Amino acid sequence: MTVLVPTMGALHKGHQALIKRARSLSKEVVVSIFINPLQFENIDDLEKYPRSPERDIQLATLAGATEVWMPDYEEIYPGEIKKLSAGSLGNLFEGHARPEHFDGVVTVVNRLFEIVKPAMAVFGEKDFQQLAIIKAMKSSVEIIGVPTVREFDGLALSSRNVRLTEQGRVSANVIHRALAAARLAPTIAIAQEVMDTTLSTEAGFKKDYATIIDEDTFEIATDDVRNKRGIIAGWIDGVRLIDNMKMGV
């Protein structure tokens, strides 16, 4: 049974957690590394996306990958691209900030599934909306979510973190601080206030959104919603960072 771990490379401990989880499920773990141009709305972001293929092979193998697959563009998109739609969930939050991003994600994930034909595929909860959208694709591939791996100060691991300045890196843990503080609040209103107030303490953080949602529908949560999740996105040093956390309220 093949388990696929789709990545865009620049692997770190977060990806290694996905690979380890995949390996706990099967002896056959394929890690794909493909920087999918379709999911970048901005050429600058695509060009700046970190690339480290040799290190990636090492890290993937150390974590238990049995195959590291680096397809080229033609293998993924031979001829005319049949672009899929991520549906209405694809237009909210990350999708609102990054038009067509999730259409690009579901298109490539569908191609990876078509080519590799895995029984299961593993994705990180850090990209919580992406995980929900991929689950909603309702393919025959079983989708497994893996909890976010964090730095010592709570910052969620991301390939983009290397682009932060020294000061930006220090400021960046405000996102985790805001989520962790909100998680303990007794009501949504207080959680929202705590989240906003914490974020406003870091002048370097430019907020896009900071909201508590119903994690099953992505609608703004009310107190009676069962599964609530805080989601935050913003920029530090012009680098877009996102994170999320299950709320205790």
Residues at the site binding ligand PAF, with contacts judged by CB under 6 A: 6-8, 36, 39, 105, 108-109, 127, 130
- Which amino acid does the sequence have at 73? Y
**Beta pairing partners, 69:** 32
Measured from the CB of residue 225, what is the shortest distance to ligand PAF in angstroms? Answer: 26
Catalytic residue from among 15, 96, 101, 176: 15
CA pair distance 184, 190, nearest whole angstrom: 10
Q: In the complex, which residue's CB is closest to ligand PAF? A: 6
Q: Are 5 and 122 in contact (CB under 8 A)?
A: yes
By beta-carbon proximity to ligand PAF, the closer residue of 8 and 188 is 8
Measured from the CB of residue 72, what is the shortest distance to ligand PAF in angstroms? Answer: 15
By beta-carbon proximity to ligand PAF, the closer residue of 148 and 198 is 148
Q: What is the 3-state secondary structure (H, E, C) of 126-150?
A: CCHHHHHHHHCCCCCCEEEEECCCE
> Cα 21 to chain center, whole Å?
16
By beta-carbon proximity to ligand PAF, the closer residue of 116 and 182 is 116
Indicate if 176 belongs to the active site.
Answer: no
Measured from the CB of residue 101, what is the shortest distance to ligand PAF in angstroms? Answer: 9
Residue 182 structure tokens = 């909100």
What is the edge-to-edge ordering of all strands in the sheet holding 239-246?
206-214, 228-236, 239-246
By beta-carbon proximity to ligand PAF, the closer residue of 6 and 145 is 6
Residue 32 structure tokens = 């794909």
Measured from the CB of residue 4, what is the shortest distance to ligand PAF in angstroms? Answer: 10
Q: Which positions are annotated as active-site residues?
A: 15
